[in-house]
A and B are shown apart, each in its own frame.
Chain A
Amino acid sequence: MINLLINYQKVSVQEGTTVLAAARKLKLNIPTLCNHDDLCVAGNCRVCLVEQKGARTLIASCATPVLQGMEIHTNTLKVRNARKHVVELLLSEHRADCTKCYKNQNCELQSLANDFAFGDHVFLDLVEDHKYNIDRSSPSFIKDDSKCIRCQRCVRTCSELQYVSAIAVANKGAHQKISSFHDRPMSQVVCTNCGQCVNRCPTGALVEKTYIDQVWDAIYDPDKHVVVQTAPAVRVALGEDLGYDPGERVTGKMVNALRQLGFSSVLDTDFSADLTIMEEGTELLLRLKKAMVDGDKKVSLPMFTSCSPGWIKFIEHKYPEFLPNLSTCKSPQQMFGALAKTYYAKKRNIDPSKIVSVSIMPCTAKKFEADRPEMRASGFKDVDYVLTTRELAVMIKQAGIDFRNIEEAKYDSIMGDSTGAGVIFGATGGVMEAALRTAYEIVTGREVPFRNLNITPVRGMDGVKEATIKIEGCVDAWKFLEGAELKVAIAHGLVNANKIMKLVREGKAPYHFIEIMACPGGCIGGGGQPIPTNMQIRKNRMKAIYAEDEHMVLRKSHENPEVIAIYKEFLEKPNSHKSHELLHTHYVERDNY
């Protein structure tokens, strides 16, 4: 153990601990900015400077490991002056139009300014000296360099967590900036629109492209019937933006709030998640049958899940030769969208051209997905507007809804029923677990052999997870699977996806089915989730997802009554012609540069 003194208080910590972490152990708050728990140490903003006795300069507490006998002071005059200077320097290169900014009151620079740089600023405004660019080319997010303070959190996120590096540092000195490949618009580079950078940007330099006003316009248009779907991961995170601690389940309140906002029908993406399981599970079993019974060598295995639009764009850019391995199933959002303007419209007797379909997603890539040209199977844009969890919170605040004190409510039907299997789509491993609960039962006629249906090997925060399930006691139709070992793998965060894909490319991946989610932790850690998001918060949300599952009466997708009904009334059976028309899609190869 290393013993040191911070502000004359003794503290003992493990070797390798940073001064910042040691101070936090003493409940001393040292302000930070470029530091983020998910990312490697940068030490570049210099906000967390402290004084080390005997050192010539101040030291960055986030980047300095503790030493035996070290004496640290966090609040000396020297430190205060330097810190004030640093914050004022940052403000001088930041276009501070706070009252107009989407991040107003949720901006780390603003709160530092509040604490350290109130009153008149000493330094000259540098924003006018730069010809800043606002990149609105992506359907998912806006990059405004005039608000960028070069902390490089986004750059580290994109390379360390996502293995994409759509953005990187360019130029030096006064001209240094966060740029894309050859300074191209973000829509024209290898970017997955995952929004992890948006989630980690401490200012308003990276924000989601918001469609709040368009949604309000639709709600207030008397000619429109506005349906809204809510993704599984939203209900365990929305509360954070409305005064709750991370991990609080606010499903019922959210449904009530959506109704109060004026949506015509409040429905659930969990329904189409259940539907996805029926389609994707069947697709997997059919691929296995083709491979094992028909001896078809061309069957693309392992099969990959296709729910995560960030992952889809990643594989389209980076591993296009494996596009046939992707499940052809649309994501639950897009299945829902296609059905909203066909099945739902028909059942409710509404002109589909009058339906506006809105989805609430933990995700920014979903905005891109909804814009894809393939996503118009209903004859219309299947999903018109995608809002993030954060945008929904803004709408709830705008409407003056007292979220904490409203009653809980239930989803509308049709397409509002769900099972626990649909809910767990929100966490890494969830699609796999949901698929196994259903597929195993189809094949064997029995429930998966895990206590209380909880398939724990596929759960948790390990970057890459694997599991093997032995299939025994098959029903007649699936006898060929008797004794087979189904090997599955799960990856979340594209850096982990890349690990698996490398194995697949090298022929070293022995799996049949692989679930991949673009974001760390799966959708609960999505780019559209409340800020901040970090490991502890993801864990809390994950716990809430599984609690939600446990509280459901129905926990297997094939038991969802509305899913059973839709096959009976409309789709006939999984992977039917109609299903293929509405619920399945194809992918495009994209350049990788």
Chain B
Amino acid sequence: MENKGLNKVDLIFEKIEPKEVLIKAFKMSSAEIIQNMLDSGLKGRGGAGFPTGLKWKYTAAEKSSEKYIVCNADEGEPGTFKDREILERVSDKVHGGMAIAGKAIGAKMGIVYLRGEYRYMLPKLMIELDSFHKMIKEIGYDFNIEYRMGSGAYICGEESALFESIEGKRGEPRNKPPYPTVSGVFDKPTSINNVETLVTAMMIIQHGAKNFTQYGTKDSRGSKVFSVSGDTPTPGIFELELGMTVQQFVNVFGDGDTKAVQVGGASGFCVPRKKFAETIIGFEGVPTGGSMKLFNSSRSMYNLLHNYLDFFTEESCGQCTPCRVGCQQLLKGVEKVKKGEAKSTYLNELMKLADSMKIAAKCGLGQSVGNAFKSIVGNFREEIIY
């Protein structure tokens, strides 16, 4: 497996002159921009990792006079706080990335869906948005961005639930197909991208796809912003080249007693110490939207699992059976096992249920509950039982 080691990078937060990059982008054709993205190998930074170039290509191919770029800034994954930092420090690159994406797919309208808890950032963002609109006008380009606020529901980070929320409806995921590229917000072709993805896209235009591909591995190109938290002497935001192992990560960020790392938040995977060395952080190993939580031996993995299940039981939209009821069953089930009210073998039934949820739930939320459950119960079974 390709291993790049741990390398700190400073691209995302690098101060640039966005006007120059935008002028460069607007001179390119839609197809050229998309080709750059395809060549760069950029995959979505929200966690799911869909190739950005393909998403733009599909949306560009739709015939519609009205299309949208939606920036998903509903950063709700537990342990993820990198989009906040990006928006606080380089919102000009977020807005710029949206304009470039707009050029690529043929959209004149962008919407930033901002996490409800980030409302405090809005006054500053509005000022920065004003300057962006002025700059775009100076360039002589037509692209407009609006902000819409979330209200605190985790599920609204799921793309189609996010659209429903923007449309003023209850935040519930839609059936797919149709995919957003065909019918997204207001039923128009939409490319929805994570905050970091849009910034990265702008950098790719600035530096060229070839430069970008020097970073990372075959499956995980480029660098990525990580939100490091938990039992670490150095919590915070770090931009790292993709392609390191969990061991290499722990060597730098651990406190010397790390027993597990939860990669990708509540919907991600728990990597136990014995698998640190063999696990690559990236799409070939364990992917993450940025959340890296370290746990040392003082932590109860039962409590951790309970916390996650409690979270999902609360944050499921409740629409589909596997997620609404499955989460409750997993939560109540581990409680019963812990109390000795159910046999430890009941965990086997719950593991099967988690498998079913993975393939039966309607959206990514319900499908990923099993990730944390299976990796924690699978690796720390004793802690759940005793």
B327 lies within 8 A of chain A by Cβ:
yes
A124 lies within 8 A of chain B by Cβ:
yes
For the complex, give the distance between the alpha carbons of A90 and B324 in Å: 10
Asked if B359 contacts A174 (CB within 8 A), the reply is no
Instruction: From known contacts A41-B175, A43-B175, infer whether A81 and B352 are also in contact, taking CB-CB under 8 Å.
Output: yes
- The one of A57, A64, A176 that contacts B324, using a Cβ cutoff of 8 Å: A176
Interface residues as binary, A169-210 with B (CB distance below 8 Å gives 1, 0 otherwise): 101111110000000000000000000000000000000000
Residue numbers in A under 8 Å from B328 (CB-CB): 93, 126, 129, 174
A58 lies within 8 A of chain B by Cβ:
yes
CB distance from B302 to the nearest CB of A (A): 18
Residue numbers in B under 8 Å from A60 (CB-CB): 175, 362
Asked if B356 contacts A44 (CB within 8 A), the reply is no
- The one of B170, B172, B326, B360 that contacts A58, using a Cβ cutoff of 8 Å: B360
Query: Restricting to A81-97, which residues have a CB under 8 Å from any CB of B?
Result: 81-82, 85-86, 89-90, 92-93
A570 lies within 8 A of chain B by Cβ:
no
A46 lies within 8 A of chain B by Cβ:
yes
Instruction: From known contacts A43-B175, A126-B329, A126-B332, infer whether A172 and B359 are also in contact, taking CB-CB under 8 Å.
Output: no
Asked if A174 contacts B324 (CB within 8 A), the reply is yes
B197 lies within 8 A of chain A by Cβ:
no
Instruction: From known contacts A90-B321, A150-B324, A174-B314, infer whether A85 and B356 are also in contact, taking CB-CB under 8 Å.
Output: yes
For the complex, give the distance between the alpha carbons of A460 and B175 in Å: 33
Asked if A44 contacts B359 (CB within 8 A), the reply is no
Q: Is the interface of B mostly helix, strand, loop or mixed?
A: helix
Among A124, A171, A175, chain B packs the most CB atoms within 10 A around the CB of A124
Asked if A174 contacts B327 (CB within 8 A), the reply is yes
Residue numbers in B under 8 Å from A320 (CB-CB): none
Interface residues as binary, B314-337 with A (CB distance below 8 Å gives 1, 0 otherwise): 111111111011111100110010
Nearest A residue to B366, CB-CB: A46
Asked if B321 contacts A86 (CB within 8 A), the reply is yes
Asked if B362 contacts A43 (CB within 8 A), the reply is yes
- The one of A58, A124, A176 that contacts B333, using a Cβ cutoff of 8 Å: A124
Asked if A45 contacts B329 (CB within 8 A), the reply is no
A78 lies within 8 A of chain B by Cβ:
yes
What's the interface size class on B, roughly?
35 or more
A63 lies within 8 A of chain B by Cβ:
yes
For the complex, give the distance between the alpha carbons of A149 and B319 in Å: 10
Residue numbers in A under 8 Å from B358 (CB-CB): 57
Residue numbers in B under 8 Å from A149 (CB-CB): 321
B28 lies within 8 A of chain A by Cβ:
no
Residue numbers in B under 8 Å from A175 (CB-CB): 314, 318
CB distance from B266 to the nearest CB of A (A): 13
A463 lies within 8 A of chain B by Cβ:
no
Query: Restricting to B347-368, which residues have a CB under 8 Å from any CB of A?
Result: 349, 352-353, 355-356, 358-362, 367
Asked if A172 contacts B318 (CB within 8 A), the reply is yes
Instruction: From known contacts A58-B359, A85-B356, infer whether A45 and B321 are also in contact, taking CB-CB under 8 Å.
Output: yes
Asked if A173 contacts B314 (CB within 8 A), the reply is yes
CB distance from A180 to the nearest CB of B (A): 15
A123 lies within 8 A of chain B by Cβ:
yes
Among B320, B325, B362, chain A packs the most CB atoms within 10 A around the CB of B325
Query: Restricting to A128-149, which residues have a CB under 8 Å from any CB of B?
Result: 129, 149
For the complex, give the distance between the alpha carbons of A92 and B170 in Å: 26
Residue numbers in B under 8 Å from A126 (CB-CB): 325, 328-329, 332
Nearest B residue to A151, CB-CB: B321
B220 lies within 8 A of chain A by Cβ:
no
A65 lies within 8 A of chain B by Cβ:
yes
Asked if A85 contacts B353 (CB within 8 A), the reply is yes
For the complex, give the distance between the alpha carbons of A273 and B329 in Å: 54
CB distance from A13 to the nearest CB of B (A): 16
Residue numbers in B under 8 Å from A174 (CB-CB): 313-314, 316, 318, 324, 327-328
- The one of A44, A47, A78, A81 that contacts B319, using a Cβ cutoff of 8 Å: A44
Nearest B residue to A169, CB-CB: B170
For the complex, give the distance between the alpha carbons of A64 and B170 in Å: 22
Asked if B322 contacts A86 (CB within 8 A), the reply is yes
- The one of B170, B312, B321 that contacts A46, using a Cβ cutoff of 8 Å: B321
Instruction: From known contacts A45-B320, A81-B352, A172-B155, infer whether A89 and B367 are also in contact, taking CB-CB under 8 Å.
Output: no
A477 lies within 8 A of chain B by Cβ:
no
Asked if B324 contacts A173 (CB within 8 A), the reply is yes
A122 lies within 8 A of chain B by Cβ:
yes
A303 lies within 8 A of chain B by Cβ:
no
B177 lies within 8 A of chain A by Cβ:
yes
For the complex, give the distance between the alpha carbons of A60 and B352 in Å: 20
Asked if B329 contacts A82 (CB within 8 A), the reply is no
A518 lies within 8 A of chain B by Cβ:
no
Asked if B332 contacts A124 (CB within 8 A), the reply is yes
For the complex, give the distance between the alpha carbons of A585 and B195 in Å: 63
Residue numbers in A under 8 Å from B318 (CB-CB): 150, 169, 171-176
Residue numbers in B under 8 Å from A44 (CB-CB): 319-321, 362
A49 lies within 8 A of chain B by Cβ:
yes
Residue numbers in A under 8 Å from B359 (CB-CB): 56-58, 78, 82
Residue numbers in B under 8 Å from A46 (CB-CB): 320-322, 360-362
Among A41, A65, A176, chain B packs the most CB atoms within 10 A around the CB of A176
CB distance from B307 to the nearest CB of A (A): 15
Asked if A176 contacts B319 (CB within 8 A), the reply is yes
Residue numbers in B under 8 Å from A43 (CB-CB): 175, 320, 362
Query: Restricting to A37-62, which residues have a CB under 8 Å from any CB of B?
Result: 41, 43-47, 49, 56-58, 60
For the complex, give the distance between the alpha carbons of A171 and B317 in Å: 8
For the complex, give the distance between the alpha carbons of A82 and B155 in Å: 23
For the complex, give the distance between the alpha carbons of A169 and B155 in Å: 15
For the complex, give the distance between the alpha carbons of A285 and B100 in Å: 68
Asked if A82 contacts B360 (CB within 8 A), the reply is yes
For the complex, give the distance between the alpha carbons of A129 and B329 in Å: 11
Residue numbers in A under 8 Å from B313 (CB-CB): 173-174
Nearest B residue to A93, CB-CB: B325
Query: Restricting to B49-85, which residues have a CB under 8 Å from any CB of A?
Result: none
For the complex, give the distance between the alpha carbons of A465 and B349 in Å: 56
For the complex, give the distance between the alpha carbons of A468 and B315 in Å: 56
CB distance from B355 to the nearest CB of A (A): 8
Nearest A residue to B320, CB-CB: A44
For the complex, give the distance between the alpha carbons of A455 and B21 in Å: 71
For the complex, give the distance between the alpha carbons of A126 and B333 in Å: 11
B153 lies within 8 A of chain A by Cβ:
yes
Residue numbers in A under 8 Å from B312 (CB-CB): 173
For the complex, give the distance between the alpha carbons of A150 and B170 in Å: 15
Asked if B314 contacts A172 (CB within 8 A), the reply is yes
Asked if A173 contacts B320 (CB within 8 A), the reply is no
CB distance from B139 to the nearest CB of A (A): 41
Query: Restricting to B276-327, which residues have a CB under 8 Å from any CB of A?
Result: 312-322, 324-327
For the complex, give the distance between the alpha carbons of A44 and B174 in Å: 9
CB distance from B179 to the nearest CB of A (A): 12
- The one of A78, A129, A152, A172 that contacts B332, using a Cβ cutoff of 8 Å: A129
CB distance from A221 to the nearest CB of B (A): 47
- The one of A49, A81, A124, A176 that contacts B329, using a Cβ cutoff of 8 Å: A124
Asked if B315 contacts A89 (CB within 8 A), the reply is no
CB distance from B206 to the nearest CB of A (A): 34
Asked if A92 contacts B315 (CB within 8 A), the reply is no
Residue numbers in B under 8 Å from A41 (CB-CB): 175
Nearest A residue to B332, CB-CB: A124
Name B residues whose Cβ lies closer than 8 Å to a Cβ of A.
153, 155, 170, 172, 175, 177, 312-322, 324-329, 332-333, 336, 342, 349, 352-353, 355-356, 358-362, 367
What are 6 residue pairs bridging A and B, where the CB atoms are less than 8 Å apart in the complex?
A44-B320, A57-B360, A65-B177, A90-B325, A171-B318, A173-B327
The 8 tightest CB contacts between A and B, nearest first, are A176-B318, A89-B325, A63-B175, A85-B356, A173-B316, A43-B175, A82-B360, A57-B359
Add 18 more A-B contacts to A122-B349, A152-B319 (CB < 8 A): A44-B362, A56-B359, A57-B358, A78-B359, A81-B352, A81-B355, A82-B359, A86-B322, A89-B321, A93-B325, A123-B329, A123-B333, A123-B353, A126-B329, A172-B316, A173-B313, A174-B318, A174-B327
